[in-house]
Chains A and B, each alone.
Chain A
Amino acid sequence: MHATDRSPALLVRGLEKRYGDVVAVAGLDLEVHPGECFGLLGPNGAGKTTTIEICEGLTAPDAGDVVVLGHRWSEAGRELRERLGIQLQETQLAEKLTVGETLDLFRSFYRRGRDVRSVIALVRLEEKVKARVGTLSGGQKQRLALGCALVGDPDLVFLDEPTTGLDPQARRQVWDLVEELKATGRTIVLTTHYMEEAERLCERIAIVDHGRVIALDTPRRLVAGLGADQIVFFSLTEGTPPLPPETVVAIERAAGATHAARPTDGGWELPVRATHEAIPALLAELDRHALPLAELRTHLPTLEDVFVSLTGRALRDA
């Protein structure tokens, strides 16, 4: 029952879900191609988890259509469970079991699947096979959760915030793992509110806000859509009064900003096209207003800047 390569691995149309008065998902559409790593990027509370749990058949939608690997949950629930690998955001595995016992348990649920030994090697827990789950670090627990998602040799893997709460090193280990998984050709759908994660792992990204997809494309094209080559950050010396709006507009115009300047971290971010022209113009304009410059930096535009330009809010504080 393998879906052909042309039919989508996951198709979501007009998805809606509300909890009482709170609208979690408000008409969301998605199409995930077989073999790609697809990311749902958005702030906390954007509806990512609700969406992914509806796709996983754990939550019933109020409206809309979900087709997973060519099947609907109502028609082929048990068959779908055999072919999906799922990692949930808040699962705590049984603390008193060992790593090996936990994976043996999950393996026993599937008719066909991977050899548990190979999964342990894949998630780099060879030395922890006999360790109780309760003694593992956060990163090790997360890798074990990934292992549990993979023992059934799934065609489609759902990862809900796989690195939330992990330290940078543990996060990179999970990323390496996901990349190995991608190399085996499995379809992966992951949610995250870390733009570096989405940028690094995903072929295509849907930016989700308030239960809707507000942009969907490859990371490169999403960033290119900004029209800016660089983001210029500048700040003024302490004690300088706040910039009046007309001064901000004058600065934007002088520097040739592609989008409105945005106040951030005690300074301003200005998306510009040609840095070598924009920076001298910016400095001259500041000089003209007798504004004392404290700091000046530039960075390449990221998905964070895309989110800001789409919503006017930063991903991390949205």
Chain B
Amino acid sequence: MRDRVRPAIVELTLVRLREFVREPEAMFWVFGFPLLLALGLGIAFRNRAPESVRIGVLESVPAAIMASLDSAEGLAVERLADDSAARQALRTAGVALVVAPGPARGVEYRFDPSREDARSARLLVDDAVQRGAGRVSPLAVREGIVRERGARYIDFFIPGLLALNLMGSGVWSIGFAVVTARKQKLLKRLVATPMSRAEYLSSFLLSRLFFLVIEVGVLVGFGALVFDVPVRGSLGTLALVCLVAALTFSAIGLLVSSRARTVEAVSGLANFVMLPMWIFSGVFFSSANFPDAIQPLIQALPLTATADALRAVMLRGAALGSAPVWTELVILLGWLVVPFVVALRIFRWR
């Protein structure tokens, strides 16, 4: 209750903010859940000290070879009694490779070349065996150990998670709010007043901006503090990408909820829209894994555009004017304008 009447757009936006902060569950899904996800995946994929590769060696292998394998660095050797024990060890993936006696007093390597650990095991084992047999490296080599921030999985993942969060909170928060208002006939009551319909829909977009600062700040700050994820580009560029993405996903949220009458209907529709992006847009793993034929489609998705722009800014320090950032922003603007205009036209007010 106030003495001065605030503009309707301000009141409408305040309603959005109040409804959100008075809903503890919504707060958790927007702020708490992404942090838990980042923490969990960050721990699971953290860069560990290189582990020894486990290999199996048949007891019938000559003692000299056995000795050189035992003394080799980076190999954990397991002795196997016979062929069936070797097969068993390979099958249950306990060992990456089995060394068996080979022709001409040599050895045989048994392994599956499609397994990465098996291929590296083969290199290590062969090196140890050949050195033991007297091979001398013709060239001197020195090792310089480097651990570069930005190339780890968590560096790849945090910008993707940020993009995912911008999408999820935009679509869900708006979808539920709109459908609830429609179901309670509140929309019908609102259009019985002189309220501007465009202002009503815009209030959803505006309210997202307030939470955006917190959402982005929390995730980027968490990444920087806990996992040392870099932000190499300017904060201004990062903020702009987040802003456009948040508005875009809000507009998509409005479109998704423009006709639905029940929460079930809007949930189904939202999942239908977002699930393909969860998979194709390269949040959890690189979208380059998908066939070339569907790449143009994948690149046109708003979540791909957001994740790629965020990675360019955070990991590679790309500037606003540089190619990946501004092209992705153009894609996002398209996804902002078209859904908002369509939503305004087809919106069911009663």
The total of chain A residues at the interface (CB under 8 A) is 36
Contact flags (1/0) for B188-213 with A, using CB distance below 8 Å? Answer: 11111111000000000000000000
Alpha-carbon distance between A82 and B193 when the two chains are bound, in angstroms: 7
Which residue in chain B gives the minimum CB-CB distance to A93? B186
In B120-150, which residues have CB < 8 Å from any A CB? none
In A78-97, which residues have CB < 8 Å from any B CB? 78, 81-82, 84, 86, 88, 90-94, 96-97
Is there an interface contact between A129 and B1, defined as CB atoms closer than 8 Å?
A: yes
Interface residue? A106 (CB, 8 A) = yes
Is there an interface contact between B1 and A91, defined as CB atoms closer than 8 Å?
A: no
Contact flags (1/0) for B1-20 with A, using CB distance below 8 Å? Answer: 11101111011101100110
Is there an interface contact between B18 and A152, defined as CB atoms closer than 8 Å?
A: no
Is there an interface contact between B350 and A58, defined as CB atoms closer than 8 Å?
A: yes
Partner of B1, one of A56, A81, A90, A100: A100
Query: In the complex, how many residue pairs between chain A and chain B have their CB atoms under 8 Å apart?
Result: 85
Alpha-carbon distance between A78 and B3 when the two chains are bound, in angstroms: 25
Interface residue? A105 (CB, 8 A) = yes
Q: Which residues of A contact B195 (CB under 8 A)?
A: 109
Interface residue? B48 (CB, 8 A) = no
Interface residue? A120 (CB, 8 A) = yes
Which residue in chain B gives the minimum CB-CB distance to A117? B1
Interface residue? A107 (CB, 8 A) = yes
In A134-155, which residues have CB < 8 Å from any B CB? 148, 152
Given contacts A56-B192, A58-B191, contact A94 B19 (CB under 8 A): yes
Interface residue? B184 (CB, 8 A) = yes
Partner of A120, one of B1, B8, B184, B192: B1
Q: Which of B5, B12, B190 is the most central at the interface, judged by chain A CB atoms within 10 Å of its CB?
A: B5
Alpha-carbon distance between A88 and B192 when the two chains are bound, in angstroms: 9
Is there an interface contact between B193 and A81, defined as CB atoms closer than 8 Å?
A: yes
Interface residue? B185 (CB, 8 A) = yes
Interface residue? B263 (CB, 8 A) = no
Given contacts A108-B7, A109-B8, A109-B195, contact A116 B2 (CB under 8 A): yes
Is there an interface contact between B350 and A101, defined as CB atoms closer than 8 Å?
A: no
Given contacts A82-B194, A86-B192, A96-B18, contact A91 B10 (CB under 8 A): no
Q: Which of A104, A116, A129, A152 is the most central at the interface, judged by chain B CB atoms within 10 Å of its CB?
A: A104
Is there an interface contact between B194 and A104, defined as CB atoms closer than 8 Å?
A: no
Contact flags (1/0) for A264-301 with B, using CB distance below 8 Å? Answer: 00000000000000000000000000000000000000
Alpha-carbon distance between A171 and B18 when the two chains are bound, in angstroms: 31
CB distance from B258 to the nearest CB of A (A): 18
Which residue in chain A gives the minimum CB-CB distance to B350? A58
CB distance from B26 to the nearest CB of A (A): 11
In A91-136, which residues have CB < 8 Å from any B CB? 91-94, 96-97, 100-101, 103-111, 113, 115-117, 120, 129, 132
Is there an interface contact between A88 and B15, defined as CB atoms closer than 8 Å?
A: no
Interface residue? B244 (CB, 8 A) = no
Is there an interface contact between A78 and B194, defined as CB atoms closer than 8 Å?
A: yes
CB distance from A152 to the nearest CB of B (A): 7
Q: Which residues of B contact A81 (CB under 8 A)?
A: 192-194
CB distance from A117 to the nearest CB of B (A): 6
Alpha-carbon distance between A69 and B159 when the two chains are bound, in angstroms: 58
Is there an interface contact between A91 and B188, defined as CB atoms closer than 8 Å?
A: yes
CB distance from B135 to the nearest CB of A (A): 76
Is there an interface contact between A97 and B19, defined as CB atoms closer than 8 Å?
A: yes
Alpha-carbon distance between A56 and B23 when the two chains are bound, in angstroms: 34
Is there an interface contact between B186 and A96, defined as CB atoms closer than 8 Å?
A: no
Q: Which residues of B contact A129 (CB under 8 A)?
A: 1
Q: Which residues of A contact B15 (CB under 8 A)?
A: 94, 97, 101, 105
Is there an interface contact between A109 and B193, defined as CB atoms closer than 8 Å?
A: yes
CB distance from A301 to the nearest CB of B (A): 37
Q: Which residues of B contact A111 (CB under 8 A)?
A: 194
Given contacts A91-B185, A91-B188, contact A152 B19 (CB under 8 A): no
Is there an interface contact between A109 and B1, defined as CB atoms closer than 8 Å?
A: no
Given contacts A58-B191, A96-B19, A116-B2, contact A105 B186 (CB under 8 A): no
Interface residue? B345 (CB, 8 A) = no
CB distance from A93 to the nearest CB of B (A): 7
Alpha-carbon distance between A66 and B111 when the two chains are bound, in angstroms: 86
Alpha-carbon distance between A148 and B188 when the two chains are bound, in angstroms: 14
Given contacts A110-B194, A117-B1, contact A88 B188 (CB under 8 A): yes
Alpha-carbon distance between A139 and B3 when the two chains are bound, in angstroms: 26
Is there an interface contact between A96 and B22, defined as CB atoms closer than 8 Å?
A: yes
Is there an interface contact between B1 and A92, defined as CB atoms closer than 8 Å?
A: no
Q: Which residues of A contact B1 (CB under 8 A)?
A: 100-101, 103-104, 116-117, 120, 129
Alpha-carbon distance between A91 and B186 when the two chains are bound, in angstroms: 6
Q: Which residues of B contact A104 (CB under 8 A)?
A: 1-2, 5-6, 11
9 closest residue pairs by CB, A with B:
A100-B1, A92-B184, A81-B194, A108-B11, A91-B189, A109-B193, A108-B8, A109-B195, A96-B22
**B-to-A contact residues, CB < 8 Å:** 1-3, 5-8, 10-12, 14-15, 18-19, 22-23, 181, 184-186, 188-195, 350
**15 A-B residue contacts at CB 8 Å?**
A88-B189, A91-B184, A92-B184, A93-B186, A93-B189, A94-B15, A94-B186, A104-B11, A107-B5, A108-B7, A108-B11, A108-B12, A109-B193, A115-B3, A116-B1
